[in-house]
Amino acid sequence: MINVDQKPITKRVAVAEGYVKMHPETLKAILTGNIKKGDVICLSKVAGTLAAKYTPMLIAMCHPIPLSDVEIEIIPSGKEALHVKASTVATWKTGVEMEALTAVSVACLNIYDMCKSIDRGMRIEGIRLLYKSGGRSGEYKAE
Protein backbone atom coordinates (compact mmCIF):
# COMPACT_ATOMS: atom_id res chain seq x y z
CA MET A 1 0.00 0.00 0.00
CA ILE A 2 1.02 3.59 -0.43
CA ASN A 3 1.57 5.52 2.78
CA VAL A 4 -1.09 8.24 2.95
CA ASP A 5 -0.35 9.25 6.53
CA GLN A 6 0.97 12.70 5.58
CA LYS A 7 -1.67 13.46 2.93
CA PRO A 8 -4.29 16.07 3.80
CA ILE A 9 -7.93 15.12 4.18
CA THR A 10 -9.95 16.61 1.31
CA LYS A 11 -13.30 15.98 -0.31
CA ARG A 12 -12.91 13.34 -3.03
CA VAL A 13 -15.46 12.69 -5.77
CA ALA A 14 -15.36 10.17 -8.63
CA VAL A 15 -17.80 9.25 -11.39
CA ALA A 16 -17.46 6.17 -13.59
CA GLU A 17 -19.58 4.57 -16.31
CA GLY A 18 -20.05 1.36 -18.22
CA TYR A 19 -22.52 -0.31 -20.57
CA VAL A 20 -24.16 -3.70 -20.82
CA LYS A 21 -25.02 -4.41 -24.46
CA MET A 22 -27.77 -6.96 -25.07
CA HIS A 23 -30.51 -8.08 -27.44
CA PRO A 24 -33.44 -5.65 -27.64
CA GLU A 25 -35.71 -8.39 -26.27
CA THR A 26 -33.53 -8.67 -23.17
CA LEU A 27 -33.72 -4.95 -22.50
CA LYS A 28 -37.48 -5.07 -22.96
CA ALA A 29 -37.74 -7.94 -20.46
CA ILE A 30 -35.68 -5.98 -17.93
CA LEU A 31 -37.77 -2.83 -18.33
CA THR A 32 -41.09 -4.68 -18.10
CA GLY A 33 -40.06 -6.71 -15.06
CA ASN A 34 -40.04 -10.05 -16.84
CA ILE A 35 -36.75 -11.42 -15.50
CA LYS A 36 -37.16 -14.50 -13.28
CA LYS A 37 -34.52 -13.43 -10.75
CA GLY A 38 -36.31 -10.15 -9.98
CA ASP A 39 -35.91 -6.41 -10.49
CA VAL A 40 -32.65 -6.21 -12.43
CA ILE A 41 -32.14 -2.47 -12.11
CA CYS A 42 -32.93 -2.27 -8.38
CA LEU A 43 -30.78 -5.26 -7.46
CA SER A 44 -27.90 -4.12 -9.67
CA LYS A 45 -27.91 -0.73 -7.92
CA VAL A 46 -27.65 -2.55 -4.59
CA ALA A 47 -24.84 -4.77 -5.92
CA GLY A 48 -22.93 -1.72 -7.17
CA THR A 49 -23.34 0.09 -3.86
CA LEU A 50 -22.09 -2.93 -1.92
CA ALA A 51 -19.15 -3.29 -4.31
CA ALA A 52 -18.09 0.31 -3.70
CA LYS A 53 -18.13 -0.33 0.04
CA TYR A 54 -16.11 -3.56 -0.31
CA THR A 55 -13.55 -2.29 -2.83
CA PRO A 56 -10.54 -2.71 -0.50
CA MET A 57 -11.41 -6.39 -0.17
CA LEU A 58 -11.50 -6.83 -3.95
CA ILE A 59 -8.67 -4.62 -5.26
CA ALA A 60 -5.15 -5.36 -4.05
CA MET A 61 -3.46 -2.50 -2.19
CA CYS A 62 -6.62 -0.37 -2.13
CA HIS A 63 -7.10 1.64 1.07
CA PRO A 64 -10.36 1.33 3.04
CA ILE A 65 -12.17 4.65 2.64
CA PRO A 66 -15.06 6.00 4.70
CA LEU A 67 -17.48 6.64 1.86
CA SER A 68 -20.07 9.30 2.59
CA ASP A 69 -22.13 8.70 -0.56
CA VAL A 70 -22.52 6.15 -3.34
CA GLU A 71 -25.08 6.69 -6.08
CA ILE A 72 -25.78 4.25 -8.91
CA GLU A 73 -27.83 5.19 -11.96
CA ILE A 74 -28.94 2.57 -14.50
CA ILE A 75 -30.86 3.76 -17.54
CA PRO A 76 -31.56 2.44 -21.04
CA SER A 77 -29.15 3.54 -23.75
CA GLY A 78 -30.86 3.05 -27.07
CA LYS A 79 -32.71 -0.22 -27.68
CA GLU A 80 -29.83 -2.57 -26.92
CA ALA A 81 -28.00 -1.41 -23.79
CA LEU A 82 -28.13 -0.27 -20.21
CA HIS A 83 -25.90 2.62 -19.17
CA VAL A 84 -24.51 2.24 -15.64
CA LYS A 85 -23.07 5.27 -13.85
CA ALA A 86 -21.66 5.39 -10.33
CA SER A 87 -20.73 8.40 -8.21
CA THR A 88 -18.70 8.05 -5.03
CA VAL A 89 -17.83 10.67 -2.41
CA ALA A 90 -15.56 10.68 0.64
CA THR A 91 -13.70 13.22 2.69
CA TRP A 92 -10.42 11.40 3.13
CA LYS A 93 -6.72 11.15 2.32
CA THR A 94 -7.01 9.18 -0.91
CA GLY A 95 -9.31 9.14 -3.91
CA VAL A 96 -12.48 7.21 -4.62
CA GLU A 97 -11.90 6.33 -8.27
CA MET A 98 -11.51 2.62 -7.61
CA GLU A 99 -14.76 2.60 -5.63
CA ALA A 100 -16.67 4.19 -8.54
CA LEU A 101 -15.09 1.84 -11.09
CA THR A 102 -15.73 -1.21 -8.91
CA ALA A 103 -19.35 -0.15 -8.38
CA VAL A 104 -19.91 0.10 -12.14
CA SER A 105 -18.15 -3.19 -12.83
CA VAL A 106 -20.15 -5.16 -10.28
CA ALA A 107 -23.46 -3.53 -11.23
CA CYS A 108 -22.77 -4.58 -14.84
CA LEU A 109 -21.84 -8.10 -13.73
CA ASN A 110 -25.05 -8.31 -11.71
CA ILE A 111 -27.09 -7.33 -14.78
CA TYR A 112 -25.33 -10.08 -16.73
CA ASP A 113 -25.92 -12.64 -13.99
CA MET A 114 -29.62 -11.87 -13.68
CA CYS A 115 -30.22 -12.01 -17.45
CA LYS A 116 -27.81 -14.70 -18.65
CA SER A 117 -30.57 -17.31 -18.85
CA ILE A 118 -32.14 -15.41 -21.75
CA ASP A 119 -29.07 -13.70 -23.30
CA ARG A 120 -25.61 -15.23 -22.86
CA GLY A 121 -24.24 -12.92 -25.57
CA MET A 122 -24.44 -9.77 -23.45
CA ARG A 123 -21.28 -7.65 -23.46
CA ILE A 124 -19.93 -5.40 -20.73
CA GLU A 125 -18.18 -2.47 -22.40
CA GLY A 126 -16.75 0.97 -21.93
CA ILE A 127 -16.01 0.93 -18.22
CA ARG A 128 -14.08 4.11 -17.53
CA LEU A 129 -13.53 7.01 -15.17
CA LEU A 130 -15.52 10.08 -16.24
CA TYR A 131 -14.59 12.52 -13.50
CA LYS A 132 -12.59 12.86 -10.32
CA SER A 133 -11.82 15.74 -8.00
CA GLY A 134 -9.89 16.29 -4.81
CA GLY A 135 -6.39 15.54 -3.71
CA ARG A 136 -3.00 16.59 -5.04
CA SER A 137 -3.74 15.79 -8.69
CA GLY A 138 -6.89 17.94 -8.67
CA GLU A 139 -9.67 17.55 -11.20
CA TYR A 140 -9.91 15.12 -14.13
CA LYS A 141 -12.62 15.07 -16.78
CA ALA A 142 -12.75 12.41 -19.51
CA GLU A 143 -12.90 13.68 -23.06
Could you tell me the domains of the chain?
10-136 (3.30.70.640)
Region for 80 from its dihedrals, namely left if φ exceeds 0, alpha if ψ lies in -120 to 50, beta otherwise: alpha
Active site residues: 113
For 72-115, write each residue's pLDDT tens digit: 999 999 999 999 999 999 999 999 999 999 999 999 999 999 99
Share of the chain above pLDDT 90, in %: 92
How, if at all, do strands 81-92 and 10-21 pair? Answer: antiparallel
d(CA 12, CA 94): 8
Handedness of CA 37, 40, 45, 48 (dihedral sign): positive
DSSP structure string for 15-33: EEEEEEE--HHHHHHHHTT
